[in-house]
């Protein structure tokens, strides 16, 4: 286990040599696979929803591969740009670049190859609208969030999170070749979900962010105010999720799931806010509990999106 203030050994400082397995693992880690998984979870279910059934396997595979390349490349560029602060933060100091397992130049080349690959795969095997949306999402995450917003404003994740909303739209356009109001609603769900999800994590690591002068909301506001903001965004998120029912004419399964999942999440967000109103002690506030719940909420909601047309058509 690594603690704040404890140096993390790297290959450069110790004179060690990375094995092939180390290098491969380092390149994979640069793509942030866990983030990628979450993004794909908002892509594939939407393909089922757009197809009103089961989409073609080849189309799903091409969309997943192209989407993975796009999300992975954005994460690589983020790691390269943020390597200075990653070296100082407890949560990120064991990443490949701070440990000098991969050089910044090699990482940039890797990210560029993934970005080009994503456009080619999506363009030739899915459609060019989906490819274009992936480029916009990638560019917004790198230039909008990472380079412009993250180190300058408490609204960094609110607007920077827009990049993470695009996979839902890409899943829809992959099947239909066009946009509609339904993917806009799905976009909105992820947009309003992102602040509660990220602020819960940032609350847990607020000392890390404060140390490197990244003005995440929990750094510049009290835990009580963060809890209040989380509750407000959660209310709007749940309301937006219910809009999909009339807008996309879903069956009964989706709205039932949206109501149940939304109610559970709102209760959990409210409880965290109540805990935060009485203390700044993170062990009592337990923000990671809400963070993990937010992952489960989004996962199950989008699973419901996929299942609804299969059982109610």
Separation of alpha carbons 185 and 197, rounded Å: 18
Question: Do 32 and 158 share a domain, yes or no?
Answer: yes
State what percent of residues in the chain have pLDDT above 90.
Answer: 87
Question: Do 134 and 259 share a domain, yes or no?
Answer: no
User: 4 pLDDT exceeds 50?
Assistant: no
**pLDDT tens string 129-181:** 999 999 999 999 999 999 999 999 999 999 999 999 999 999 999 999 999 99
Q: Does 101 map to a domain?
A: yes
State what percent of residues in the chain have pLDDT above 70.
Answer: 94
User: 12 pLDDT exceeds 70?
Assistant: no
Final residue in a domain of this structure, among 177, 206, 225: 177
Cβ neighbours of 211 (radius 10 Å): 15
Final residue in a domain of this structure, among 131, 160, 177: 177
Final residue in a domain of this structure, among 177, 200, 222: 177
User: Which residue is associated with the tokens 């969030």?
Assistant: 145
Question: Do 58 and 167 share a domain, yes or no?
Answer: yes
Which structure tokens are listed for 94? 């064991």
User: 193 pLDDT exceeds 80?
Assistant: yes
State the first-to-last Cα distance of the chain, in angstroms, to the nearest integer. 51
Q: How many domains does the chain have?
A: 2
**pLDDT tens string 251-284:** 999 999 999 999 999 999 999 999 999 899 999 9
Which structure tokens are listed for 284? 């009592």
Q: Does 12 map to a domain?
A: no
Question: Do 170 and 35 share a domain, yes or no?
Answer: yes
The closest of 244, 261, 232 to 184, measured between CA atoms, is 244
Length of the chain: 313
Q: Does 15 map to a domain?
A: no
Question: Do 184 and 60 share a domain, yes or no?
Answer: no
Which structure tokens are listed for 206? 């607020």
Question: Do 287 and 251 share a domain, yes or no?
Answer: yes
Task: Determine the structural domain holding residue 241 and report its residue range.
Answer: 180-313
Separation of alpha carbons 111 and 266, rounded Å: 38
Burial of 311 (0-12, 13-18, 19+ CB in 10 A): exposed
More confident residue, 23 or 7: 23
**pLDDT tens string 166-180:** 999 999 999 999 999
Which structure tokens are listed for 213? 């002068």
Q: Does 247 map to a domain?
A: yes
User: 9 pLDDT exceeds 60?
Assistant: no
């Amino acid at each position: 286990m690594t603690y704040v203030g404890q140096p993390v050994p790297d290959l450069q400082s110790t004179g060690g040599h990375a094995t092939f397995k180390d290098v491969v693992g380092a390149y994979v880690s640069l793509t942030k696979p866990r983030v990628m998984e979450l993004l794909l979870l908002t892509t594939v279910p939407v393909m089922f929803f757009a197809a009103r059934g089961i989409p073609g396997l080849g189309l799903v595979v091409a969309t997943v591969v192209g989407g993975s390349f796009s999300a992975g490349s954005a994460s690589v560029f983020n790691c390269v740009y943020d390597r200075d602060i990653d070296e100082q933060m407890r949560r990120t100091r064991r990443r490949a670049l701070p440990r000098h397992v991969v050089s910044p130049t090699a990482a940039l080349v890797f990210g560029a190859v993934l970005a080009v690959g994503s456009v080619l795969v999506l363009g030739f095997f899915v459609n060019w609208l989906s490819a274009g949306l992936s480029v916009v999402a990638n560019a917004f995450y790198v230039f909008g969030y990472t380079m412009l917003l993250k180190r300058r404003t408490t609204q960094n994740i609110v607007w920077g999170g827009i990049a993470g909303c695009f996979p839902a739209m890409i899943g829809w356009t992959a099947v239909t070749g066009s946009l509609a109001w339904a993917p806009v609603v799905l976009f909105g769900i992820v947009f309003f979900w992102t602040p509660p999800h990220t602020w819960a994590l940032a609350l847990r690591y607020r000392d890390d962010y404060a140390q490197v002068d990244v003005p995440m909301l929990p750094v510049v506001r009290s835990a009580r105010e963060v809890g209040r903001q989380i509750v407000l965004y959660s209310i709007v998120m749940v309301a937006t999720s219910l809009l999909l029912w009339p807008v996309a004419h879903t069956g009964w399964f989706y709205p039932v799931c949206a109501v149940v999942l939304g109610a559970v999440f709102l209760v959990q967000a409210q409880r965290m806010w109540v805990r935060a109103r009485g203390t700044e002690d993170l062990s009592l506030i337990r923000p990671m509990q809400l963070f993990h719940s937010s992952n489960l909420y989004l996962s199950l909601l989008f699973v419901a999106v996929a299942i609804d047309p299969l059982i109610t058509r």
